[in-house]
Amino acid sequence: MEIFKDKVQVTDKITLGGDKMVLFAGPCAAESYDICMETGTKVKELCAKMGIEYVFKSSFDKANRTSSGSYRGPSVDMGLEILAMVKKNLNVPIVTDVHESYQCAEAAEVVDVLQIPAFLCRQTDLLKAAAQTGKAVKIKKGQFMAPEDMKYAVDKVRGEGNNKVFLTERGASFGYHNLVVDMRSLPIMRQYTPVIFDVTHSVQQPGGMGGSSGGQREFAPFLARAAAAVGVDGFFIETHPNPEKALSDGPNMIPLHEMEGFLTMIKKYWDLGKGK
C-alpha cells in the first residue's frame, strides 16, 4: 500500500503531512462569541505549549440535526460574524461546515477551511463549489461510505484545480444509533491525501436520544490513541466549557477543562506513531 507523499496546504502557515500535528477544535455550534472565545483561547494556549498547529472550529449552521426543533446555530450572517471576530481577536485560522453550494463563497470570505459534512460527502455540486473558492476543503467520510470510495470525493475537488483537500474519518454506521471505527480506513484513505481523525463524532450515537444524538465520550481516549498509533495527520475534537449545557452535540464533546490532559495523551501517541 503506497501512502500519499505530498503535503497539503491548510493555510499559508499550516501543512498536513509534515512533522507537526494539526488540531481542528472548538464548540460544535457557534452558540455565542463568549463561548467561542473562551474555548479558542484555552485550546490555542495548549497547542502553543505542546507544539501543535491549531485551527479553530465551530459551525454557523447545523443543518443535519435529528429534529427540526433542535438548535441549528446563530444563522449564517451572525455565525460568520462571530467566526470573523474570533479569527481577528485570536489570530487563528477557522474551519466551518457548509451544507449548501451557495454558502461556500460567502463562508470563504471569512474562514480558511471549508468542511463538507459526512452526510454530504458525495454531493458533487457542493464539493465543486467548495473547491472553486480556492480554500482548503476538509471532507468527512460518510458513515455509509467505504474508505476506498472517498478517492472520488477527493478527485471532485482536485478536478476543479484545487489540490488543498484532505479527508476525515468519523466512523461507520453499525446497526441503529451506533458508529464503529474501522482503523483500516485510515491507511486506505491515506493513499489519496492526508487524513484527520474525528475523535468526538466517532463516539456519537446518531439519534440515540430520541429527538437528538447521544454520545459516549468515555471511549474517546481509546479511539484517539488507536488512531494516533495507526497514523494520522491530525485530529478533530469538539470541546465546550460545559458540554451538559451545550446546544448541540454535548454528549460527545470533551469538557474544556479536560483538554490539556487529553491533548497531552494524544500528542504522546502521535509522536510515537511518527517514530519521534
User: What's the mean pLDDT in 192-218?
Assistant: 80
So what's the pLDDT on residue 154? 98
Which pLDDT tens digit goes with each residue over 114-138?
999 999 999 999 999 999 999 999 9
- CA dist 48 and 46 (Å) reads 5
User: Using a CB cutoff of 8 Å and minimum separation of 24, what contacts does 259-262 make?
Assistant: 259/25, 259/42, 259/43, 259/46, 260/46, 262/220, 262/221, 262/224, 262/237
Are the CB atoms for 21 and 235 separated by under 8 Å? yes
Percentage with pLDDT > 70 across the chain: 93
User: What's the mean pLDDT in 14-19?
Assistant: 94
- Helices 76-90 and 33-50, interaxial angle, to 10°? 40
Work out the pLDDT band at 72, boundaries 50, 70, 90: confident
DSSP 8-state class, residue 29: B
User: What's the mean pLDDT in 193-211?
Assistant: 82
pLDDT tops 60 at residue 29: yes
Residue of higher predicted confidence among 239 and 177: 239
Q: Which residues contact 179 (CB under 8 A, 6 or more apart)?
A: 143, 170, 171, 172, 173, 201, 202, 203, 204, 205, 206
pLDDT tops 60 at residue 209: no
Beta strands in the chain (DSSP E): 8-9, 15-16, 22-26, 53-57, 94-97, 113-116, 136-140, 165-169, 172-173, 179-180, 195-198, 204-205, 214-215, 234-240, 254-255
Least confident of 73-77, 88-92, 191-195, 234-238: 73-77
pTM of the model: 0.94
So what's the pLDDT on residue 177? 82
- CA dist 163 and 224 (Å) reads 27
Residue of higher predicted confidence among 224 and 75: 224
Which pLDDT tens digit goes with each residue over 1-11?
888 989 999 99
Work out the pLDDT band at 175, boundaries 50, 70, 90: confident
So what's the pLDDT on residue 242? 95
Residue of higher predicted confidence among 107 and 248: 107
Which pLDDT tens digit goes with each residue over 139-162?
999 999 999 999 999 999 999 999
Task: Please tell us whether the domain made up of 8-273 is placed in CATH 3.20.20.70.
Answer: yes
- Helices 150-158 and 124-132, interaxial angle, to 10°? 40
pLDDT tops 60 at residue 179: yes
So what's the pLDDT on residue 211? 56
Which pLDDT tens digit goes with each residue over 81-91?
999 999 999 99
